[in-house]
Structure 1
Amino acid sequence: MPHLSRLTSLALAIALLGATPLLQADQTPTATDVTSEKAPLPLDELRTFAEVMDRIKSAYVEPVSDKTLLENAIKGMLSNLDPHSAYLEPEAFLELQESTSGEFGGLGIEVGTEDGFIKVISPIDDTPASAAGIQPGDLIVKIDDQPTKGLSMMEAVEKMRGKAGSPIVLTLVREGGKPFDVELKRAVIKVKSVKSQMLDDGYGYVRITQFQVNTGEEVGKALDKLRKDNGKKLSGLVLDLRNNPGGVLQAAVEVTDHFLKSGLIVYTEGRIANSELRFNADPADASEGVPLVVLINGGSASASEIVAGALQDHKRGVLMGTDSFGKGSVQTVLPLNNDRALKLTTALYFTPNGRSIQAQGIVPDIEVARAKVTREQDEEGIKEADLQGHLGNGNGGADKLRSKGEKPVRLQDGDYQLSQALNLLKGLNITRN
């Protein structure tokens, strides 16, 4: 997409919450990019800082090195800005770069902070966390019996990472209930960004678990494969963004562009040079204008909300599910000269109609809460066509006998929200035709 070349002097990317942070953009900002004016140094505050550091070194019960004190001071500066800004030491910076490539070690769980506790934003598909039944909104109150109250998000993530196969116990609180333990084994997390399949004749399904560098390309391939599998243009499509914690800004723009022919996708506003960007759709439409339902929930954050918000503003599809997470800020990775980096919130993003998602989220067009689906046994009785000597149809139609055997289990059969999305698509096609 030609308009993406505008990401030149600013490393703009949307942060993922927790264990899989954002990807550094192709070009590192220079000092002139991120500093518009040099403000005078606050000499009184610097004298106070130096005095506090000197007092700690001379009076603290144990010796503390200058390096430790200064690094703690840097961490303090970042931690008191917002939940998504952080100082990344070499190991954390390396993990950040690895995570958006789609493979990293840990539990496969995205986390944030709430009231001093670690809160689950979403488990990632096909990981120990999702297999253990961990849900968005769960509070992690202990990690291996150590309370998480007061831990920073980065500290909690570090404790949950570890060697593949090693055990870990998380103590969770769900919806204000009693604490309970979940035993897991760490694994090498290989995240497949895009999954797709046919739900029914003519109706396709695309799920995006996380926005990685190549997600836009993968969605394009998935749409092409669904079209070929169907043998003709699709009758409808479900785009599933539930429990998708976000990812790379450029990937969100590319995915949205597959469903639009023109118009604004997203724009950003910030203080530093080149932080005010606008991304527009190009004329190509990989989805061929197919009727679209987009599924979102409280675990849909960041880049997911960019896609959902743009499609909703353009009335390109129907949003179904529950309110999204509400992360509308942009993070920039600013590498330092010692294998460290700053992950700094530098801008807010807005939907085409100028909506800020920050702390509000996207409200679906049709609210459908998560529910368990239980299918009763269909005890079909004898039909007219089963009776001996019954009359024929008269119009030449074949007899419709009682069905025998079990029906195959489909993806939508155990997923109430997905089944409602599919029913809506079928209804839209009936009225359109």
Structure 2
Amino acid sequence: MSSNDIIVSLDIGTSKVRVIIGEVNNGAINIIGVGSADSEGIRKGAIVDIDQTVHSIRSAVEHAERMVDIQISDVYVGIQGNHISLQTNHGVVAVSNEDREITEEDIERVLQAAKVVALPPEREIINLVPKQFLVDGLEGISDPRGMIGVRLEVEATIVTGAKTALHNLIRCVEKAGLHISGVILMSLASGVMSLTKDEKAIGTVLVDIGAGSTTLAIFEQGGIAATSTLPIGGEYVTNDISYGLRTQTEQAEKIKLKYGCALASDAAEDLRFKVMRMGSNVEKEFSQVDLASIIEPRMQEIFYMVRQEVKRLGFGDKINGYVLTGGSVSLADTLTLAQQELESSVRIAVPDYIGVRDPAFSSGVGIIQYVSKYMAIRSSGAAKKQASRKPGAVAAPKPGMIERIKNMFSEFI
């Protein structure tokens, strides 16, 4: 990676579209710009209206551009949803050099070999994640470059998704006038930002509670082992408040953010607020205890479903902890409630960068860290700088998105 690369991440969520601009300077990442816009056209994490989604993407991009005076042309896009699935595969090649030294070309060939797998016609490879390399049977190698051998193997996790969901995502971003440098599984990106090396090794569940859905990613032995998406999230809490207090959803969301508490036992009876009742001009007063008594059961349900899903995936007794992220975990006392319901060690992951110290930005920041760590950006070749500091910069013509997705992982190592 050159000394100053710009990486732009695009996180299209149910409630917000977020654009984060990161500058990589000699390996260190600085967040230099953030843009967000209300999400329109997204339901439960899935695109249901392309035109509205395009408008939201453009608004978020313009917001970020105004902050740092950068014309954004290229982005890395996050993807998630219940259509995502994982499978393992094995690749093997003979080392091509006469001196038997393993080169970048050998690594690219073995990664391509690992991607040769039978898939249904409606599915497509999104990411390829090497778990380990083997050189002449020697296991546990993370980077075989420069080693001597005649046989190079790789054990990898293949991330696949539905073509429909992937192509709709690509279409929205390209209609917004952006070039896609790569599509990355959100759980992989969040894992880079949120989990330590030890947490990935011992068995940890990364729980991303968004507005419309909750995504689980189970990590063990250093890599992602399973992923699942539950169709429940923070907007269900908001809907409960709207129904319980008989008020508009928009006002319910504001009340949740300002006065919300996940534990009724910790709520304050003397903290009171007024709510405009639906269908009338009459305001009614409620306490934080009233609000918490609505929020707590729904949050309990979310964590109950998380725990049941972990068991269903076959990891019930293999988990040593949970890490929470996503915008909905910012609610007061969420951590305490999660510890009670999950009966395990739980912590909340927050990006450690100025301007994005909020769990809602974990995925966006994670994409930038993932790209800088695993997908080397070179000054020439298929991957270009993600943005220009000169306003009005125009992206050079690039090959088609589907072709690049098929070939992008040659730059994994």
TM-score computed with the length of structure 1 as normaliser = 0.25
Structure ID, larger Rg: 1
Higher relative contact order (CA 8 A, sep 6+): 2
